[in-house]
């Protein structure tokens, strides 16, 4: 009897499982069918949108960007965007608002890097080879025409280095850390569009450096994400048949160090930064596209940054070679910067020369061996622009960054051993293998300037593969 009961129970359970499985499979089939329909709708809609955007961009830029390219519209012209939106809203329900206007970005870089020291201290004359990766990903949500917020995560950060998101292959396969690279909210008020002002932007948190546009890595490493708040105003200057000029003004109030007390000479440290720039474009006879020019002047006022306990080992080239490694040669930093870049179209290839000059107006070095080293300058030239499959870009830059000229903790960390008190050359090349895969190579040849610490030539080579999404 027990065996018969067990047999019946087994058959009943099996029937229930098969019934449930068939239901699940049916549901899976429905979901799969829905996904396929959505994919087809998205693909069709994307083609239509791309065609319409290309037409709009072509019409808007035909008078300024040269002859418009012929754009062929796809055969389907019905309003699929509205249909897709209704279908998506119906399937996602309340979740649709969450995913609407959500932007996802990121990249992965794999790098081989080699160092060669031709002279200097015994501790740094041996060559070095290493493999590294950089992983960055982020989300940005646009709530309406005025508000958006976002965050980004990145690798690196284990040494407290603000100028690097690289992680070295090391330490017996241990898991690698991910850190908060950005966390911000941006307000672009509609009332901020008045007269010549086209856009007003206020951003708070930890964010992409708003001063990169009018500066080079001689002053700002591209991995630095300031913390605090900034205000930016974009405005029109001139709009004629031959000249179109826009401009911007940015003010930033950034927190460098916060101390609850004054023990040991500690003090809160801040950076107050201001930048004014113009971006005129000129129609030149014989050129298919206009000649562009970017010119900016910036002022960086560092408050209480030179208190030694505020930065520790991050002096980086600003250190006093005859004293404590955490003591600055410069007793203050008030840096003025002038940046100019041209964009010259030559036979369809963008040619971009630039010059960047900065001076620390508040240097006041205490020792003669480092006194007066308050100037930094860079000259560079870039040919091409690697953005889409098959495009290429090559460039050369020479930089001369004296010990007290700019804050070494925040400028280019790849320049030799990085940061200030360096001079030398940088060669770069990029090629877009696909729209999402970039191959690059960099060669850097650098010498120290002051020779207070050591006379050393640094050679650095980098080979990169970058996947973008």
Mean pLDDT, the chain, rounded, equals: 82
Q: Work out the pLDDT band at 368, boundaries 50, 70, 90.
A: very low
What's the angle, vertex CA 176, arms to CA 136 and CA 414, rounded to 5? 60
Look at residue 317 and tell me whether its pLDDT is greater than 90: no
Least confident of 270-279, 325-334, 432-441: 325-334
Task: Supply the pLDDT for residue 457.
Answer: 83
What value does the mean pLDDT take over residues 249-269? 81
Burial class (CB in 10 A: 0-12, 13-18, 19+), 392: middle
**How far is it, in rounded angstroms, from Cα 429 to Cα 447?**
22
Q: Which residue did the predictor score with more confidence, 171 or 54? A: 171
Burial class (CB in 10 A: 0-12, 13-18, 19+), 86: exposed
E strands present in 143-175: 147-154, 167-168
**How far is it, in rounded angstroms, from Cα 243 to Cα 421?**
41
Q: Work out the pLDDT band at 214, boundaries 50, 70, 90.
A: very high
**How far is it, in rounded angstroms, from Cα 445 to Cα 462?**
12
Say whether 157 sits in a helix, a strand or coil: coil
Task: Supply the pLDDT for residue 450.
Answer: 76
Task: Supply the pLDDT for residue 22.
Answer: 45
- Nearest Cα neighbor of 198 from 190, 207, 187 is 190
Task: Supply the pLDDT for residue 1.
Answer: 47
Paired tokens of 384: 């091409």
Task: Supply the pLDDT for residue 366.
Answer: 52
**How far is it, in rounded angstroms, from Cα 98 to Cα 89?**
11
- Please give the backbone phi and psi of residue 421, each rounded to the nearest 5 degrees, phi first: 60, 45
Q: What end-to-end distance do the CA atoms of the chain give, in Å?
A: 65
Q: Work out the pLDDT band at 157, boundaries 50, 70, 90.
A: confident
Q: Work out the pLDDT band at 386, boundaries 50, 70, 90.
A: very high
> Tens digits of per-residue pLDDT, 63-79?
555 555 554 445 445 57
Q: Which residue did the predictor score with more confidence, 413 or 304? A: 413
Look at residue 129 and tell me whether its pLDDT is greater than 50: yes
CB 419 within 8 A of CB 316: yes
Look at residue 426 and tell me whether its pLDDT is greater than 70: yes
Task: Supply the pLDDT for residue 67.
Answer: 54
**How far is it, in rounded angstroms, from Cα 284 to Cα 292?**
10
Look at residue 305 and tell me whether its pLDDT is greater than 70: yes
Look at residue 130 and tell me whether its pLDDT is greater than 80: yes
Paired tokens of 214: 């009018």
What's the angle, vertex CA 19, arms to CA 13 and CA 21, rounded to 5? 100
What value does the mean pLDDT take over residues 78-104? 75
CATH number for the region 95-468 comes to 2.40.160.180
- The DSSP secondary structure of 41-101, one letter per residue, reads HHHHHHHHHHHHHHHHHHHHHTTTSSSPPP-PPPS--S-HHHHHHHHHHHHHTTHHHHHTT
Look at residue 187 and tell me whether its pLDDT is greater than 70: yes
CB 136 within 8 A of CB 107: yes
What value does the mean pLDDT take over residues 441-451? 90
Look at residue 332 and tell me whether its pLDDT is greater than 90: no
Residue 198: CB partners within 8 Å, gap ≥ 6?
234, 235, 236, 246
E strands present in 361-405: 375-384, 392-401
Paired tokens of 242: 């031959």
Outline where 184-289 has alpha helix (H).
none
What value does the mean pLDDT take over residues 426-435? 98
CB 80 within 8 A of CB 48: yes
> Tens digits of per-residue pLDDT, 274-302?
999 999 999 999 888 999 999 999 999 99
Domain ranges for the chain? 95-468
Q: How long is the chain? A: 469
Task: Supply the pLDDT for residue 224.
Answer: 97
Helices (H) and strands (E) in the chain, counts: 3, 17
Look at residue 10 and tell me whether its pLDDT is greater than 60: no
Provide the sign of the torsion angle of the four alpha carbons 154, 419, 355, 448, taken in this order: negative
CA dist 39 → 35, 135, 241 (Å)? 6, 28, 44
Query: What percent of the chain has a predicted confidence (pLDDT) above 70?
Result: 71
Q: Which residue did the predictor score with more confidence, 94 or 462? A: 462
């Amino acid at each position: 009897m027990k065996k018969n009961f067990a047999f019946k129970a087994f058959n009943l359970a099996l029937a229930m499982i098969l019934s449930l499985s068939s239901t699940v499979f049916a549901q899976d089939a429905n979901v799969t069918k829905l996904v396929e329909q959505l994919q087809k709708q998205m693909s069709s809609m994307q083609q239509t949108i791309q065609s319409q955007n290309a037409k709009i961009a072509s019409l808007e830029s035909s008078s300024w960007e040269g002859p418009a390219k012929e754009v062929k519209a796809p055969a389907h012209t019905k309003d699929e965007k509205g249909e897709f939106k209704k279908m998506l809203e119906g399937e996602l329900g309340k979740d649709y608002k969450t995913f609407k206007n959500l932007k996802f970005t990121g990249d992965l870089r794999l790098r081989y890097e080699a160092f060669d020291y031709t002279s200097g201290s015994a501790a740094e004359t041996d060559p070095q080879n290493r493999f590294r990766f950089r992983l960055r990903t982020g989300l940005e949500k646009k709530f309406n025409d005025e508000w958006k917020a976002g965050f980004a995560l990145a690798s690196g950060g284990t040494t407290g280095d603000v100028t690097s998101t690289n992680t070295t292959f090391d330490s017996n396969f241990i898991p690698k850390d991910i850190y908060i690279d950005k966390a911000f909210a941006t307000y672009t008020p509609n009332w901020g569009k008045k007269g010549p002002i086209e856009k007003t932007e206020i951003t708070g948190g930890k964010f992409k450096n708003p001063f990169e546009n009018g500066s080079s890595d001689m002053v700002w490493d591209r991995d630095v994400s300031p913390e605090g708040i900034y205000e930016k105003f974009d405005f029109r200057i001139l709009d004629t048949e031959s000249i179109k000029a826009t401009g911007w003004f940015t003010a930033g109030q950034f927190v460098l160090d916060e101390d609850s007390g004054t023990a040991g000479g500690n003090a809160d440290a801040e950076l107050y930064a201001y930048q004014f720039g113009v971006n005129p474009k000129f129609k030149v006879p014989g050129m298919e596209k206009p000649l562009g020019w970017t010119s900016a002047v910036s002022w960086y006022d560092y408050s209480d940054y030179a208190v030694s306990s505020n930065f520790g080992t991050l002096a980086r080239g600003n250190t006093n070679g005859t004293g404590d490694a955490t003591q600055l040669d410069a007793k203050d930093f008030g840096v003025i910067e002038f940046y100019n870049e041209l964009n010259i179209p030559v036979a369809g290839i963008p040619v971009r020369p630039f010059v960047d000059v900065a001076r620390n107006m508040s240097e006041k070095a205490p020792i003669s061996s480092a006194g007066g080293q308050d100037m930094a300058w860079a000259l560079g030239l870039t040919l091409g622009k690697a953005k889409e499959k098959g495009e290429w870009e090559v460039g050369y830059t020479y930089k001369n960054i004296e010990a007290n000229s700019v804050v070494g903790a925040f400028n280019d960390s790849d320049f030799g051993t990085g940061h200030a008190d360096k001079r030398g050359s940088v060669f770069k090349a990029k090629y877009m293998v696909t729209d999402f895969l970039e191959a690059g190579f960099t060669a850097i040849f650098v010498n120290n300037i002051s020779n207070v610490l050591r006379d050393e030539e640094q050679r650095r080579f980098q080979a990169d593969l970058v996947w973008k999404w």
